[in-house]
Structure 1
Amino acid sequence: MKRYSIFLTVILLLLTAVLETGCDKLLEEKPKSTISLGNLDPALLEQTVIGVYEPLTRSRGRLWESTIGLGFELMAEYADAGGSSQINWSNYNNLNTSNTALNQPWTTLYEAIGRANSLIVTLDNSPNLSDDIRKVAYGEAYFVRAICFYFAVRTFGKFPMRLKPILNSKDVLLASSDIPLIYDQIIKDLQEAEKVLPPTVASSKAGRATAGAARTALADVYLTRGDYPNAKLKAKEVIDNKATYGYDLETSLATIYSPTLPTNKEDIFSLKFSQVINQGSFMASYWADANARAAGFSISGNKFGGITSNAPLIKNWDDNDLRKKFSLYNSYIINGAVTPASLDADYDFRMGKYKDPNAPIDTGNGNDLYFWRYADVLLIFAEADNKINHGPTTDAYEYINQVRRRAYGLPINTPSNVSDLPAGLNEEAFDDLVFRERGYEFIGEFKRWFDLVRTNRVAKMINEVRANIPRPNRKPVPSRFTFAIPEVELSNNPLAGN
Structure 2
Amino acid sequence: MKNRAVKYFLISLVGTLFLGCTDLEEDPVGILAPESLFKTPKDVQTAIFGAYGWIASERLYGRQFVTALLLRGDMADIGDRGTPAERQQVNDFNMDDNNNMVRQFWPYWYQTISAVNAAISGAEGLGLPENEGNPLIAEARFVRAFSYYHLVRTFGDIPYLDRFITDPTSVKDISKTSAATVYQNIIADLQFAKQWLPDQQPNSVRSRPSKGTAAAYLASVYLTLADYQKSYAEAKFVIDNEAKFGYGLVADFQDLFRAPEPNNLKEHLFAIDFLGQQNGGGGANDDIMPPMTGVRGADAPRSGWSVAVPSMAVYNTWDSRDYRKQVSFTDSILIKGILQPYTVFDNTKRPHIAKYARYAGNSNTEGRYSDHNYAAMRYAEVLLIAAEALTEVNGGPNAEAIGYINQIRSRARNWAGKQTSFPEDVNSGLSKDAFINLVLEERRLELAFEYKRWYDIKRRKLGQAAFTGPNSLEPHPNFDPNRDYLMPLPRIELQVNPNLGPQNPGY
Match of residue 209 from structure 1: 209
Match of residue 254 from structure 1: 254
Residue 351 of structure 1, aligned match among 343, 350, 353: 353
Q: Cα 1:92–1:465, aligned 2, differ >3 Å: closer, same or farther? A: farther
SS in 2 for 1:18: coil
Distance 2:445 2:350 in 1: 17
Please say if residues 20 and 111 of structure 1, whose CA atoms lie closer than 8 Å, have aligned partners that are also in contact. yes
Match of residue 17 from structure 2: 19
Unpaired stretches in structure 1, ≥5 consecutive residues: none
User: 1:262-411, aligned counterparts within 5 Å?
Assistant: 262-263=262-263, 264-278=265-279, 279-294=285-300, 297=302, 300-311=303-314, 314-333=315-334, 337-341=338-342, 343=345, 348-354=350-356, 355-356=359-360, 358-360=362-364, 362-409=367-414
SS in 2 for 1:310: helix
Q: Does 1:66 align with 2:63?
A: yes
Q: Name the count of aligned residue pairs.
A: 483
Distance 1:218 1:293 in 2: 43
Distance 2:466 2:346 in 1: 22
Distance 1:247 1:64 in 2: 23
Q: TM-score, normalised by structure 2?
A: 0.88
Q: Does 1:36 align with 2:38?
A: no
Aligned-pair CA distance for 1:135 = 1.3
* One-letter amino acid of the structure 2 residue matched with residue 435 of structure 1: L
Aligned-pair CA distance for 1:130 = 4.6
Distance 2:237 2:361 in 1: 39
Residue 77 of structure 2, aligned match among 45, 67, 80: 80
SS in 2 for 1:177: coil
* One-letter amino acid of the structure 1 residue matched with residue 355 of structure 2: K
* One-letter amino acid of the structure 1 residue matched with residue 451 of structure 2: F
* One-letter amino acid of the structure 2 residue matched with residue 399 of structure 1: Y
Q: TM-score, normalised by structure 1?
A: 0.90
Aligned-pair CA distance for 1:19 = 1.2
Please say if residues 299 and 334 of structure 2, whose CA atoms lie closer than 8 Å, have aligned partners that are also in contact. no
User: 1:441-460, aligned counterparts within 5 Å?
Assistant: 441-460=446-465
Aligned-pair CA distance for 1:160 = 0.7
Distance 1:204 1:280 in 2: 24
Please say if residues 34 and 167 of structure 1, whose CA atoms lie closer than 8 Å, have aligned partners that are also in contact. yes
Aligned-pair CA distance for 1:103 = 1.1
Please say if residues 271 and 368 of structure 1, whose CA atoms lie closer than 8 Å, have aligned partners that are also in contact. yes
SS in 2 for 1:338: strand
SS in 2 for 1:105: helix
Aligned-pair CA distance for 1:359 = 1.0
Aligned-pair CA distance for 1:104 = 1.4
Q: Cα 1:357–1:148, aligned 2, differ >3 Å: closer, same or farther? A: closer
Distance 1:490 1:100 in 2: 15
Unpaired stretches in structure 2, ≥5 consecutive residues: 280-284, 503-507
Distance 1:92 1:320 in 2: 33
Distance 2:88 2:270 in 1: 30
Q: Cα 1:489–1:321, aligned 2, differ >3 Å: closer, same or farther? A: same
Residues 111-151 of structure 1: per-residue CA shift (max 9 Å, x gap)? 01111111112212113x45333111101110011011111
Please say if residues 330 and 343 of structure 1, whose CA atoms lie closer than 8 Å, have aligned partners that are also in contact. no
Distance 2:385 2:491 in 1: 35
* One-letter amino acid of the structure 1 residue matched with residue 405 of structure 2: I
Residues 330-356 of structure 1: per-residue CA shift (max 9 Å, x gap)? 212568743123658987220001131
Distance 1:233 1:488 in 2: 42
Residues 456-475 of structure 1: per-residue CA shift (max 9 Å, x gap)? 11110112468677xx56x6
* One-letter amino acid of the structure 2 residue matched with residue 45 of structure 1: V
SS in 1 for 2:485: coil
* One-letter amino acid of the structure 2 residue matched with residue 10 of structure 1: Y
Q: Percent identity among equivalent residues?
A: 29
User: 1:84-103, aligned counterparts within 5 Å?
Assistant: 84-85=83-84, 86-94=87-95, 98=98, 100-103=100-103
User: 1:187-226, aligned counterparts within 5 Å?
Assistant: 187-203=187-203, 205-226=205-226
Distance 1:119 1:126 in 2: 11
Please say if residues 287 and 369 of structure 2, whose CA atoms lie closer than 8 Å, have aligned partners that are also in contact. yes
Q: Does 1:229 align with 2:223?
A: no
Q: Cα 1:103–1:465, aligned 2, differ >3 Å: closer, same or farther? A: farther
Aligned-pair CA distance for 1:450 = 0.7
Match of residue 156 from structure 2: 157
Q: Cα 1:30–1:447, aligned 2, differ >3 Å: closer, same or farther? A: closer
User: 1:169-180, aligned counterparts within 5 Å?
Assistant: 169-180=169-180
Distance 1:407 1:331 in 2: 22
Match of residue 135 from structure 2: 136
Distance 2:276 2:29 in 1: 44
Distance 2:499 2:180 in 1: 19
* More off after superposition, 483-492 vs 387-396: 483-492
Distance 2:103 2:426 in 1: 44
Distance 2:35 2:186 in 1: 25
Aligned-pair CA distance for 1:98 = 4.4
Aligned-pair CA distance for 1:100 = 4.7
Aligned-pair CA distance for 1:205 = 4.4
SS in 1 for 2:17: helix
